[in-house]
Structure 1
Amino acid sequence: MTSLKFGTSGLRGLVGDLEGAPSRSYTVAFLAVMRERGAPARLLVGRDLRASSPAIAAQVLAAAREAGFESTDCGALPTPALALESLREGVAAVMVTGSHIPEDRNGLKFYAPGGEITKADEAAILAALDLVADAPIAADVPPLDPANANGAALARYRERYVSAFGDEALAGLRIGIYEHSTVARDLLAEVVEALGGTALPFARSRSFVPVDTEAYRDEDRALLRKQASDGFDAVFSADGDADRPLLADERGEIVRGDVIGLLASAFLGVDTLVTPVTSSSAIETSGLVGEVRRTRVGSPFVIAGIEAAIESGALGVAGFEANGGFIQGTDAIIDGRTLPALATRDALLPLLCVAAAARRAGISISALVAGLGIRASASHRLQNVPAERSAAFLASLAGDEAFRRTFLLPLGAPMAVDALDGVRVTLAGGDVVHFRASGNAPELRCYAEAPGEIEAAELVRRGLSLAEAHL
């Protein structure tokens, strides 16, 4: 048995199940699919700052060479930076990252020359894996030397935003940089300074910190509130591989990912927005975008929705997940400068958009958010819940009306049910509680909407308590 499986964004599992032969076998299978589809025999490889990532990246690079592919070590860099280079060069790429999950886990994100792989591509890789399972793999792979990494991809990603936003976009703003172990920690400070702001880094970590932008730790919230006393206009950060943003306002209060995405969409002039069912229902009621299309959770589903919107004739298209990972589907214009589309989750773009929007309006970020008048949202999770137990619970909640009413009785009477992804229930009075299994880890997640932050957080707490008792 192995913990390795494809989730909402790439292959994930325990480090011990991925190191060595498995990482090389998955790479060979991926490259076999790429070769069959006519991709150039070249592979770009990047990684996050986990302790296990350099060794796994070395295995991926070795596997590429054995498969007859020219391979380039792009070093430690954000996933969207590697994706941008993959698209620019028209070649495949592999990012070694576990994103936000704990350090005892890691993963591989695969990119075809045209962007993120699809669910159909995942099936093809698994089919090819059976054919390469017995392929000979060299035992000794030398460790990577960071000094030999090619830094061109990271430099081009940085220039993408410096050129598009201009050197005064953040002028006068004091931006705290919560460094922890995000691979973007140095880049964030560099870009803030290049755009005219003052970057003030803090809390750099030598060990990996699992910052999850859908389930913030109490210690993260406390730290951000404490640091706000230094007089920040905002705090920028991201998850491990920097495809999910972390934004805190001038008070140190975290801004939810779907709110970040909505404000970024408005700044970029988006008229068609694609987002999963877990994002706030206020996105439709805000009036900031003309059309909202809902999907299942996961960037492949959002990207598919963006592609469908473009094919239907929509002009300004973007998407995001509830965790804030922003996907720019079409080119955007910022003060007369063109920002080309980048169809993969990105943390840097939405952070810059929200801060620049607040500066342009001459108001604080908290005031910008308050102006939306949206209902409060909250989310959290139960960890170490096997997938089969989550699946049985969700099946009962969706399909058994008697169970649903009894289970939800302490929260309210269920009035409407949406089973597009997990089970989203609208309760009498308008509150929303939504349960779904994580696609990346053995977790059951709960999302809620209520009139205020305290009520939303309490609804999540009580919902998870009921779920934990049942499970």
Structure 2
Amino acid sequence: MGKYFGTDGFRGTANENLTADHAYKVGRFLGWYYGELKRRSGSNEAPRIVIGKDTRRSSYMFEYSLVGGLTASGADAYLLHVTTTPSVAYISRVDSFDCGIMISASHNPYYDNGIKLINGQGEKMEDDVIELVEAYLDGKLTAFGQEWSEIPFAHGENIGKSVDYISGRNRYVGYLISLGMYSFRGMKIGLDCANGAAWNIAKSVFDALGAETYVINAEPTGTNINNNAGSTHIENLQKFVVEKGLDAGFAYDGDADRCLCVDEKGEVITGDHILYIYGRYMKERGKLINNTVVTTVMSNFGLYRAFDEIGIDYAKTAVGDKYVYEYMKEHDCCIGGEQSGHIIFSKYASTGDGILTSLKIMQVIMSREKKLSELAAPFKVYPQVLENVKVKDKKAAQDDSDVRAEVDKVAAELGDAGRILVRESGTEPLVRVMVEAQDEAVCRSCVDRVVNVIKLKGYTL
């Protein structure tokens, strides 16, 4: 991770540690950088950069600041307006943009925001370009073989323009609909849009495929995104599905790159369940390339036991859909994801896509003619306790010798019957302490032991 950009973009509290000036400078750099690449390859065309945003109040401020920076450097900015992160990735790729920008802090509260950079292949931006952006933000840019105290402005007819590109978002909606292999007619489906980017997209897709669609949290105000809504507060959808007698429910986060599900009984279907259900479905059809599902170190023990029983291999990466996708691309894998609901289907998308994930789960339900609870039943979840500890210094807290000693002691006691994982958040000032074992009381006790040491050493805020 860099000084500004973590595993999921440049994220912070709006106008505190992520300001409109930051956004302007990011736009200035990207507009200049891609223009310079074109000039050095013999092209006089203006760079084309596409921008999407979620429903946060500050997203408009950051959008206009980015546009100001991009056009001042000679790039044309194409605006998708309120849309999902995966739609920006899709349009960046299929419409041959130089890069894409998504303004969102995903599942964070409304007062946070973020700038996610996407390359022209619809993938997360390369680290070397991110490093150049950070160098420019710090006034220490070295690029194209020279140092730059400042980068040049465009002048005259070379100043960029902004373009309303709502048609791009509409084309993404059409793409999702085209992936529906079955009619959903007769199915009653609930959607929790988190008052975020999916609010005006998800229902349109499910309606077009014939579902009887029921929606909650699709009235964004700019300050209610993720507020007791969406995949981070799935208890609302659980209650809604049971009360309405629905066949299934799908909950998205603020930028709709993740999805969690609820079965007809109101039980939560996590990202691990989704990997099991769709991985098994692909294997049964002979479509699971390399017979491998890509997971992260946060996936549940029970998932690996379930895969072992049906003969599916698995890989484990660091936490972050960036790392999942990198492994999938390098090893030619077709499905991977995280327990949190970031699921990547490499045949259809280059990033996690919550709405696509819900369509793929519907495909299994319709194809197998089984209820969602039946599809998930063979996967037995090990009890897991996860505590997020807010700290002053993530690395110092995690690397402290006393903390490490307690972690090692817990690991030795758990042996082969469980595991402990301590890691720092890539986007927030948190150390995450997670324990899995066959008994929840054991999990809780082990987590408390490690958290208490972190507190006693004075790292907590």
TM-score tier after normalising by the smaller chain length: 0.7 to 0.9
TM-score, scaled to structure 2: 0.81
2:34 corresponding residue in structure 1: 34
Residues 23-62 of structure 1 aligned to structure 2 (within 5 Å) = 23-38=23-38, 41-62=47-68
Following superposition, the deviation at residue 54 of structure 1 comes to: 1.2
Give the Å deviation of 1:298.
2.0
Q: Distance in 2 between matches of 1:441 and 1:137?
A: 34
Residue equivalent to 2:157: none
Identify the residue that residue 411 of structure 2 maps to in structure 1.
414
Paired position in structure 2 for 1:121 = 129
Find the partner of 2:225 among 206, 209, 213.
Answer: 209
> What is the letter of the counterpart of residue 395 of structure 2?
A
1:363 aligned to 352, 363, 370, which one? 370
Equivalence for 1:279: 299
The Cα shift of 1:20 comes to 2.4
Q: Deviations over 1:347-379 (max 9, x none)?
A: 112222223323333332222212223434453
Partner of 2:380: 373
Q: 1:448 to 1:185 in 2, by over 3 A?
A: farther
- Residue in 1 that maps onto 2:338: 321
Letter in 2 for 1:295: T
Q: Summarize the alignment of residues 283-362 of structure 1 with structure 2, pairs less than 5 Å apart.
A: 283-287=303-307, 290-310=312-332, 316-329=333-346, 331=347, 341-362=348-369
Rounded Cα–Cα distance in structure 2 between residues aligned with 1:373 and 1:178: 26
Residue among 428, 431, 434 paired with 2:415: 428
Instruction: Give the alignment's TM-score, normalised by structure 1.
Output: 0.80
Tell me the SS of whatever aligns to 1:165: coil
Instruction: Tell me the amino acid that sits aligned with residue 371 of structure 2.
Output: S
Counterpart residue number, 1:108: 115
- 1:25-51 CA-to-partner distances (Å, cap 9, x unmatched) read 022223444345549711101100001
Instruction: Decide which moves more: 106-115 or 256-265.
Output: 256-265
Q: Aligned residue for 2:10?
A: 11
Equivalent position to 2:89, from 80, 83, 89: 83
Segment drifting more, 44-53 vs 286-295: 286-295
- 3-state SS, counterpart of residue 72 of structure 1: strand
In the other structure, the counterpart of 1:187 is 201
Identity %: 23
SS of the residue 2:185 aligns to: coil
SS in 1 for 2:376: helix
Shift of 1:278: 1.5
Partner SS, residue 345 of structure 1: coil
User: Cα distance, 1:159 vs. partner?
Assistant: 1.9
CA distance 1:248–1:293, shift in 2 (3 Å): same
User: Is the 1:44–1:86 Cα contact (8 Å) retained in structure 2?
Assistant: yes
**Which runs of 5 or more structure 2 residues have no equivalent in the other structure?**
142-147, 155-162
- Quote the Cα distance in structure 2 between the aligned partners of 1:294 and 1:354: 22
SS of equivalent residue, structure 1 residue 18? coil
Aligned match of 2:145? none
Give the partner amino acid of 2:235.
R
CA contact (8 A) 1:260 1:351 kept: no
Asked if 1:68 corresponds to 2:85, the answer is no
1:234/1:44 CA distance change after superposition, 3 Å = same
Q: Per-residue CA shift, 1:407-449, capped at 9, x if unaligned? A: 676xxx423xxxxxxxxxx823612222211111112223332
Superposed CA deviations along residues 282-306 of structure 1, whole A, max 9, x for unmatched, are: 4433236743222222233222212
State the alpha-carbon separation in 2 of the partners of residues 457 and 351 from structure 1. 32
TM-superposed CA distance for 1:85, in Å, is 0.4
Q: CA 1:120–1:136 in structure 2 vs 1: closer, same or farther (change >3 Å)?
A: closer
Q: Is the 8 A contact 1:248 1:255 kept in 2?
A: yes
Q: Distance in 2 between matches of 1:225 and 1:284?
A: 30
- The Cα of 1:405 is off from its aligned counterpart by 4.9
Say what the alpha-carbon RMSD is for the aligned residues.
3.2
Could you tell me whether the CA contact under 8 Å between 1:33 and 1:124 is conserved in 2?
no
User: 1:213-292 counterparts in 2 under 5 A?
Assistant: 216-217=232-233, 220-221=234-235, 224-225=238-239, 227-268=241-282, 269-270=287-288, 271-287=291-307, 290-292=312-314
- In structure 1, what residue type is equivalent to 2:336? G
Q: Is the contact between residue 213 and residue 324 of structure 1 (CA under 8 Å) also seen in structure 2?
A: no
Distance in 1, Cα, partners of 2:84 & 2:26: 21
